[in-house]
């Protein structure tokens, strides 16, 4: 089997025509194709595919995803490539999809086997920086009504708006915590929005009323500060979604020592790098809890990898904000994989278990 083409496919959601999703598809000479989601910028991704990716991998065996990942992320011979991790990640996921389909096995089986195929999810809602406590609570209540029994609220401050309004942030968390039953976990994501002293003060407030984990309290580059926060707090502190390789994750573990490591399947460079990250975390006895605020192919890819980790017992992230409602996104696939009562059940279909809906017409470039 050989790669014949790498193409982008944009499909509009029939039930939500204001939204569309951009897919990457790798085609082969045996008619087997693999898919992933390719981020947001179609023009930029197309340039990378035309100028760099296709000249390197067309004609190669697609069932060598780790080999191809090394070529795209690092280089080959005298040619250094250093492609962005999100470009590499999108290609890598599609290649693993082909590998599973070629073997006639679900991806989790190709990766070594699943410890579980029913994976609980937590309902993740963001943009808290411009919401009132009641607005955030209403969104949490929606998730509870739909069967989710773990939650996270995100502030989405970013590292350039540090310490903007921690008191209001706490008010949002407090409103949700007071409404949710005590046994239902609630986490908080500062999205890199605090300084060290503010993060420690805020974390202690969270601890007093009950928090599951405190995510990205500091700018992602402040690993020394992260260790200060981790050492000062009793609650679990997490980070890692913005790291672009397993080497960066390694440095974060060594220097920042978070309690929970949260790689993102696209940002870190695909399933190949997720596997490296998970093995490293298992060796370091670190809890893993992937970042994945979306619905669709990359969420399913992340779940397949997560299923292979024995101690991956915490809920996996789930959010509809960037992709649209799960029921609308489901129309993009021939046999969709969507949650029921806050749980996703991975099918035993080959590869990711997803095929694009053949009845939908891709948008023109």
Task: State which of 55, 89, 104 marks the end of a domain.
Answer: 104
Q: Would residue 354 count as lying in a domain?
A: no
Q: Would residue 317 count as lying in a domain?
A: yes
Q: Would residue 353 count as lying in a domain?
A: no
Listed in order, strand segments (DSSP E) in 269-348 are 287-288, 316-318, 343-345
Whether 339 shows a pLDDT value over 80: the answer reads yes
Residue 365: band (very low, low, confident or very high) from pLDDT cuts 50, 70, 90:
low
The CATH number linked to 153 is 3.20.20.120
Q: Would residue 358 count as lying in a domain?
A: no
Distance CA 328, CA 325 (A): 5
Whether residue 327 sits in one domain with residue 259: yes
**59 closest CA partner among 29, 82, 32, 88:** 29
Q: Would residue 361 count as lying in a domain?
A: no
Residue numbers of the domain that contains 134: 110-345
Whether 83 shows a pLDDT value over 90: the answer reads yes
Whether residue 340 sits in one domain with residue 295: yes
Q: What is the pTM of this model?
A: 0.96
Average pLDDT of span 14-18: 91
Contact status, residue 217 vs residue 169, Cβ threshold 8 Å: no
Residue 39: band (very low, low, confident or very high) from pLDDT cuts 50, 70, 90:
confident
Whether residue 303 sits in one domain with residue 182: yes
202-241 pLDDT per residue, tens: 999 999 999 999 999 999 999 999 999 999 999 999 999 9
State the DSSP code for 131: -
Whether residue 206 sits in one domain with residue 275: yes
43-66 pLDDT per residue, tens: 999 999 999 999 999 999 999 999
Whether 163 shows a pLDDT value over 90: the answer reads yes
Whether residue 274 sits in one domain with residue 134: yes
Contact status, residue 215 vs residue 238, Cβ threshold 8 Å: yes
The CATH number linked to 37 is 3.30.390.10
101-144 pLDDT per residue, tens: 999 999 999 999 999 999 999 999 999 999 999 999 999 999 99
- Return the minimum-mean-pLDDT range out of 157-161, 184-188, 340-344: 157-161
Whether residue 87 sits in one domain with residue 124: no
Is the alpha carbon torsion for 139, 315, 264, 156 positive or negative? Answer: positive
Hunting for tokens 């670190």 — which residue is that? Answer: 286
Whether residue 236 sits in one domain with residue 149: yes
Q: Would residue 352 count as lying in a domain?
A: no
To which H or E segment does residue 73 belong?
A: helix 65-73
Whether residue 43 sits in one domain with residue 63: yes
Hunting for tokens 């009504």 — which residue is that? Answer: 145
**65 closest CA partner among 87, 102, 92:** 92
């Amino acid at each position: 089997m050989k790669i014949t083409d790498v193409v982008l496919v944009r499909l509009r959601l029939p039930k939500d025509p204001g939204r569309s999703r951009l897919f990457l598809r790798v085609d082969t000479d045996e008619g087997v194709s693999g898919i992933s989601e390719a981020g947001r910028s179609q023009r930029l991704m197309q340039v990378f595919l035309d100028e760099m990716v296709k000249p390197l991998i067309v004609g190669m065996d697609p069932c060598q995803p780790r080999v191809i990942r090394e070529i795209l992320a690092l280089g080959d011979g005298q040619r250094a490539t250093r492609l962005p991790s999100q470009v590499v990640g999108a290609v890598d996921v599609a290649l693993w999809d082909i590998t599973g389909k070629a073997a006639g096995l679900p991806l989790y089986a190709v990766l070594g086997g699943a410890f579980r195929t029913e994976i609980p999810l937590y309902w993740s809602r963001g943009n808290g920086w411009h919401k009132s406590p009641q607005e955030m609570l209403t969104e949490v209540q929606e998730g509870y009504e739909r069967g989710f029994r773990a939650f996270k609220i995100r502030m989405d401050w970013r590292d350039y708006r540090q310490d903007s309004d921690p008191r209001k942030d706490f008010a949002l968390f407090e409103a949700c915590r007071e409404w949710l039953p005590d046994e239902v976990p609630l986490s908080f994501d500062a999205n890199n929005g605090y300084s060290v002293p503010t993060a420690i003060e805020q974390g202690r407030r969270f601890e007093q009323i009950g928090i599951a984990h405190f995510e990205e309290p500091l700018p992602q580059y402040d690993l020394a500060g992260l260790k200060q926060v981790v050492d000062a707090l009793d609650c679990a502190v997490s980070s890692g979604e913005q790291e672009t390789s397993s080497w960066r994750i390694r440095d974060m573990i060594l220097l920042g020592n978070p309690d929970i490591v949260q790689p993102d399947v696209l940002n870190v460079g695909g399933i190949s790098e997720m596997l490296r990250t998970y093995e490293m975390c298992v060796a370091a006895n670190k809890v893993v809890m992937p970042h994945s605020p979306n619905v669709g192919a990359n969420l399913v890819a992340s779940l397949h990898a997560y299923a292979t980790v024995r101690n991956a017992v915490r809920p996996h992230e789930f959010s509809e904000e960037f992709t649209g409602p799960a029921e609308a996104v489901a129309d993009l696939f021939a046999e969709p994989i969507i949650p029921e009562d806050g749980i996703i059940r991975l099918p035993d279909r080959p590869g990711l278990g997803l095929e694009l809906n053949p009845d939908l017409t891709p948008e023109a470039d």
